[in-house]
């Protein structure tokens, strides 16, 4: 972390990218979503994307509020549909860098259908799924990524459903870059976001965040520092080799770029098809 | 006493009291191989030999030492403090670390001038900061040790074509101080080293022995000077937006310099600005985006 910041000029101030009048943000004490917000904005700064070229789309939930704090083109849309709105936006305005910020419930249950089809189309969108394993904003209900045995307001006897491996879903559905990182590894998360944004095609990044107030407290996971440190001790970076051969286990996250393919980007293919259908309209 | 005087004049003959040789170095340098050569040599000469080594963290560049005791009759395998006749150090600071084991009046130190700076001596994380590596040079050392031989063994070994033969160069120097037949030394070295490296190792041994037996040494290699800071330390400005901080305590817990704390109203404050090294860990991990670190080059200071 120390000397890797040579790419950051001394003049970089994250407040240039924030709607500072809305701060302090509404998220709870120690919520990892703030770290993800910083990583996203640092990545945008590093890539030299101006605020006019950036469009951030978010749905409903704790993660949905992220877009509101970014001083760029932002859409705060209906529950589960940020990828749908983003697909339309990207097709209409291919010059924009479209980043979707969504949560585990927003992306995998309410918007699960939209996720798999967005992955299948492989549009040049970056999807940041902030996974805190719970529906935080609505009061702590069980989510598709809640680990087995965990207590939530709707599973007072412990969750008995197995959880989703979101990265496997995205890979199987056809996303051309799939990665996962924990918030404690903030510079690595920033690098992963840089890679996903610069990748031509659908980039799916699962960010393992922590919900201290609603989830951690009920499950006795300790303070936010303890939660992010336990994520760190349980992570298995793909670069260590052999990590990807092991089965999915929540809490022991495989991190890094988990899969990559060079499938054709949807918008480019779409434009080629429309041009060939109407050759006289070519300009 | 001068290091350039003839060493063979004071060659140690095997006698009733055991001769103690302490071989020290960093993992991977061949400390154990040197003590094996000594052990085999003593066996050939019908001497009693006991050897004891510690190489726990050897593969991670940790400390390795090997006690070698030989004589008519040896009872204990370890050398008591202040009883070593020779300390053979393959790394400069390791040699200094084991100085208390040397005999005060007659003990000899053979040290490679190579320096391997261990990571834990780099405690100061500020850019351009000095590391805490041992700075004692040859002149100071000669005042406290009876005999010092500082030899650039790694350099000599590079000349003969294999840097890793530095330990046989030092063995060559050692051979001039112990009373064994040179041809036996060569045979044992050839027996112990890997077959592919016999030639380089024997050449290194000869060069080390020649170097030690020279009447006068034109230039005595001196250990390199301790490092100096290349530039003044940067100025670090750490700003904490009080209104944004929710007091989650992450920055306080992750700060490697322990220079942050929560004040009475549960807001993070910089307790010790001088200790802050500008590593940005707190800035990266602040969920409230309340911490802003600016690193200004020193010359901009007014």
CB A31 within 8 A of CB A84: no
Residue B301 has pLDDT above 60, yes or no: no
Residue-averaged pLDDT of chain B? 82
Residue B2 has pLDDT above 60, yes or no: no
**According to the model, what pLDDT value does residue A2 have?**
40
**According to the model, what pLDDT value does residue B216 have?**
56
For residue range B118-133, what is the model confidence (pLDDT) as tens digits?
A: 776 766 777 666 667 7
CB A175 within 8 A of CB A240: no
| Lowest mean pLDDT across A63-67, A139-143, A228-232, B154-158 | B154-158
Segment 113-132 of chain B within 8 Å of chain A by CB: 125, 127
Which of A91, A93, A83, A166 minimizes the C-alpha distance to A126? A83
**According to the model, what pLDDT value does residue B215 have?**
58
Q: Has residue A4 been placed in a domain? A: no
3-class DSSP string for A217-242: CCCCCCCHHHHHHHHHHHCEEHHHCC
**According to the model, what pLDDT value does residue A219 have?**
92
**According to the model, what pLDDT value does residue B232 have?**
60
ipTM of the modeled complex: 0.89
CA A122, CA A200: separation in Å to the nearest integer? Answer: 9
Q: Structure tokens of B259?
A: 């220079």
Q: Has residue A6 been placed in a domain? A: no
B180-208: average pLDDT: 90
User: Domain of A129: which CATH number?
Assistant: 3.40.50.970
Helix axes B182-192, B166-175, angle to 10 degrees: 160
For residue B57, name the pLDDT band (cuts at 50, 70, 90): low
More confident residue, B58 or B284: B284
Q: Has residue A156 been placed in a domain? A: yes
**According to the model, what pLDDT value does residue B101 have?**
92
Domains (range + CATH), chain B: 8-213 (3.40.920.10), 235-300 (3.30.70.20)
For residue range A235-261, what is the model confidence (pLDDT) as tens digits?
A: 888 877 776 677 788 888 899 999 999
CB B242 within 8 A of CB B284: no
Distances (CA, A) of B79 to B29, B58, B98, B267: 21, 21, 11, 57
- The C-alpha of B116 sits at a distance from chain A's nearest C-alpha, in angstroms, of 22
**According to the model, what pLDDT value does residue B61 have?**
64
| Lowest mean pLDDT across B2-6, B115-119, B230-234 | B2-6
**According to the model, what pLDDT value does residue B60 have?**
61
Q: Has residue A244 been placed in a domain? A: yes
Q: Has residue A1 been placed in a domain? A: no
Q: Has residue A144 been placed in a domain? A: yes
**According to the model, what pLDDT value does residue A160 have?**
92
User: Hey, are the CB atoms on B292 and A29 less than 8 Å from each other?
Assistant: no
CA A234, CA A244: separation in Å to the nearest integer? Answer: 14
User: Hey, are the CB atoms on A38 and B284 less than 8 Å from each other?
Assistant: yes
CA B291, CA A18: separation in Å to the nearest integer? Answer: 14
| Lowest mean pLDDT across A188-197, B38-47, B60-69 | B60-69
**According to the model, what pLDDT value does residue A103 have?**
94
- The C-alpha of A197 sits at a distance from chain B's nearest C-alpha, in angstroms, of 20
Residue B226 has pLDDT above 80, yes or no: no
C-alpha neighbours within 13 Å on the C-beta side of residue B185: 24
Residue-averaged pLDDT of chain A? 90
Number of neighbouring beta carbons within 10 Å of residue B270: 20
C-alpha neighbours within 13 Å on the C-beta side of residue A32: 32
DSSP line for B32-94: HHHHHHHHHHHHHTT-EEEEEEE-TTGGGT-EEEEEEEEES----SSPPTT-BSEEEESSHHH
**According to the model, what pLDDT value does residue A260 have?**
93
- The C-alpha of A268 sits at a distance from chain B's nearest C-alpha, in angstroms, of 36
Residues 6+ apart with CB under 8 A from B136: B96
Number of neighbouring beta carbons within 10 Å of residue B248: 25
Residue A96 CA from chain centroid, whole number: 18
The SS3 assignment for B143 reads helix
| Lowest mean pLDDT across A105-109, B19-23, B35-39, B231-235 | B231-235
**According to the model, what pLDDT value does residue B133 have?**
74
Option in A2, A15, A29 nearest B125 (CB): A2
For residue A154, name the pLDDT band (cuts at 50, 70, 90): very high
Distances (CA, A) of A21 to A25, A69, B284: 10, 9, 21
Q: Structure tokens of A62?
A: 């704790």
A47-60: average pLDDT: 94
**According to the model, what pLDDT value does residue B302 have?**
45
CA B213, CA B176: separation in Å to the nearest integer? Answer: 7
Q: Is B4 exposed, middle or buried (0-12, 13-18, 19+ CB in 10 A)?
A: middle
Q: Structure tokens of B54?
A: 């510690």
For residue A158, name the pLDDT band (cuts at 50, 70, 90): very high
Q: Structure tokens of B122?
A: 């780099």
CB B172 within 8 A of CB B212: yes
CA B139, CA B243: separation in Å to the nearest integer? Answer: 58
Q: Has residue A5 been placed in a domain? A: no
Helices (H), chain A: 33-46, 66-69, 82-92, 104, 112-121, 166-173, 186-198, 224-234, 266-277
**According to the model, what pLDDT value does residue B58 have?**
57
For residue B146, name the pLDDT band (cuts at 50, 70, 90): confident
Give me the residues paired with residue B68 across strands: B21, B51
For residue B221, name the pLDDT band (cuts at 50, 70, 90): low
Residue A282 has pLDDT above 60, yes or no: no
A-chain CB neighbours of B253 within 8 Å are 225
Percent of chain B past pLDDT 70, that is, above it, reads 81
For residue A44, name the pLDDT band (cuts at 50, 70, 90): very high
**According to the model, what pLDDT value does residue B5 have?**
41
Option in B250, B284, B287 nearest A1 (CB): B284
**According to the model, what pLDDT value does residue B299 have?**
60
Specify whether the backbone of A117 is left (phi greater than 0), alpha (psi in -120 to 50) or beta: alpha
For residue A63, name the pLDDT band (cuts at 50, 70, 90): very high
For residue B285, name the pLDDT band (cuts at 50, 70, 90): very high
Provide the 8-state DSSP code for A13. Answer: -
CA B260, CA B166: separation in Å to the nearest integer? Answer: 47
Range of the domain at A238: 11-281
Number of neighbouring beta carbons within 10 Å of residue B23: 32
Residue B40 has pLDDT above 50, yes or no: yes
CA B155, CA B162: separation in Å to the nearest integer? Answer: 10
Residues 6+ apart with CB under 8 A from B60: B27
**According to the model, what pLDDT value does residue B106 have?**
86
| Lowest mean pLDDT across A109-118, B100-109, B180-189, B219-228 | B219-228
| Domains contained in chain A, number | 1
In degrees, rounded to 5, the angle at the alpha carbon of residue B281 between the alpha carbons of residues B279 and B283 is: 105
A-chain CB neighbours of B289 within 8 Å are 14, 18, 23, 25, 34, 37-38
Q: Has residue A96 been placed in a domain? A: yes
Residue A255 CA from chain centroid, whole number: 13
| Lowest mean pLDDT across A111-115, A172-176, B4-8, B201-205 | B4-8
More confident residue, B3 or A38: A38
Residue A71 has pLDDT above 70, yes or no: yes
Option in B287, B292, B294 nearest A35 (CB): B287
For residue B222, name the pLDDT band (cuts at 50, 70, 90): low
Q: Structure tokens of B78?
A: 């370890």
Residue B282 has pLDDT above 90, yes or no: yes
A-chain CB neighbours of B286 within 8 Å are 34-35, 38
User: Hey, are the CB atoms on B285 and A35 less than 8 Å from each other?
Assistant: yes
- The C-alpha of A272 sits at a distance from chain B's nearest C-alpha, in angstroms, of 42
Contact status of B63 with chain A (Cβ, < 8 Å): no
A203-219: average pLDDT: 93
- Which residues of A fall below an 8 Å CB-CB distance to B? 1-3, 5, 10, 13-15, 18, 23-25, 27-35, 37-39, 183-184, 186-187, 212, 223-225, 228
- The C-alpha of B64 sits at a distance from chain A's nearest C-alpha, in angstroms, of 28
pTM surpassing 0.90?
no
Residues 6+ apart with CB under 8 A from B244: A23, A24, A25, B288, B289, B290
Number of neighbouring beta carbons within 10 Å of residue A173: 18
Contact status of B213 with chain A (Cβ, < 8 Å): no
For residue B139, name the pLDDT band (cuts at 50, 70, 90): confident
Q: What's the residue count for chain A?
A: 283
User: Hey, are the CB atoms on B250 and A34 less than 8 Å from each other?
Assistant: no
Which of A114, A104, A172 minimizes the C-alpha distance to A138? A104
């Amino acid at each position: 972390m120390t000397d890797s910041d040579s790419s950051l000029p001394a003049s970089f101030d994250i407040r240039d990218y924030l709607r500072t009048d809305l701060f302090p943000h509404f998220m709870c004490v120690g919520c990892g979503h703030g770290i993800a917000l910083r990583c996203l904005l640092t990545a945008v700064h590093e890539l030299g994307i101006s605020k006019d070229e950036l469009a951030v789309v978010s749905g409903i939930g704790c993660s949905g509020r992220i877009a509101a704090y970014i001083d760029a083109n932002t859409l705060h849309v209906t529950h589960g549909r940020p990828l749908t709105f983003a697909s339309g936006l990207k097709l209409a305005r291919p010059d924009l860098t479209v980043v979707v910020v969504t949560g585990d419930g927003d992306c995998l249950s309410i918007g699960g259908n939209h996720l798999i089809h967005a992955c299948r189309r492989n549009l040049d969108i970056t999807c940041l799924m902030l996974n805190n394993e719970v529906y935080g904003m609505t009061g702590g209900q069980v989510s598709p990524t809640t680990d087995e045995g965990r207590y939530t307001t709707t599973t007072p006897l412990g969750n008995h459903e197995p959880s989703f491996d979101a990265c496997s879903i995205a890979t199987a559905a056809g996303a051309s870059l799939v990665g996962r990182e924990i918030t404690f590894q903030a510079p690595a998360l920033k690098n992963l976001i840089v890679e996903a944004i610069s990748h031509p095609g659908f980039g799916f990044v699962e960010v393992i965040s922590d919900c201290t107030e609603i989830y951690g407290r009920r499950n006795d996971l300790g303070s936010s520092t303890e939660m992010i440190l336990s994520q760190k001790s349980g992570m298995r970076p793909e670069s260590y080799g052999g990590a990807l051969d092991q089965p999915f286990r929540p809490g022991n996250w495989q991190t890094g770029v988990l899969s990559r393919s060079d499938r054709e980007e949807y918008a480019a293919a779409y434009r080629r098809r429309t041009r060939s259908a109407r050759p006289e309209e070519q300009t | 006493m001068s290091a350039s005087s003839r060493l063979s004049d004071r060659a140690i003959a095997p006698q009733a009291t055991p001769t103690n040789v302490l071989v020290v170095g960093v993992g991977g340098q061949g400390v154990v191989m040197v003590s094996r050569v000594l052990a085999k040599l003593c066996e050939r000469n019908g001497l009693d030999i006991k050897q004891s080594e510690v190489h726990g963290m050897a593969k991670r560049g940790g400390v390795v030492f090997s006690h070698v005791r030989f004589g008519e009759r040896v009872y204990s395998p370890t050398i008591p403090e202040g009883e070593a006749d020779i300390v053979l150090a393959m790394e400069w600071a390791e040699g200094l670390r084991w100085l208390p084991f040397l005999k005060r009046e007659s003990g000899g130190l053979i040290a490679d001038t190579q320096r391997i700076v261990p990571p834990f001596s780099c405690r100061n994380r500020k850019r351009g900061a000095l590391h805490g590596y041992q700075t004692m040079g040859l002149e100071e050392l000669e005042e406290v040790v009876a005999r010092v031989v500082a030899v650039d063994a790694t350099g000599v070994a590079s000349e003969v074509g294999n840097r890793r033969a530095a330990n046989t160069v030092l063995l060559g120097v050692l051979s001039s101080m112990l009373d064994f037949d040179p041809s036996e030394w060569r045979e044992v070295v050839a027996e112990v080293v890997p077959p592919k490296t016999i030639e380089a190792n024997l050449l290194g041994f000869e060069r080390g022995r020649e170097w030690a037996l020279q009447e006068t040494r034109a230039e005595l290699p001196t250990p390199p000077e301790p490092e100096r800071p290349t530039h003044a330390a940067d100025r670090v400005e750490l700003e904490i937006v009080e209104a944004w901080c929710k007091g989650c305590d992450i920055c306080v817990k992750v700060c490697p310099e322990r220079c942050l704390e929560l004040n009475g109203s549960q807001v993070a404050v910089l307790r010790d600005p001088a200790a802050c090294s500008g590593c940005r860990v707190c800035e990266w991990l602040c969920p409230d985006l309340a911490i802003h670190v600016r690193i200004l080059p020193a010359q901009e200071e007014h």
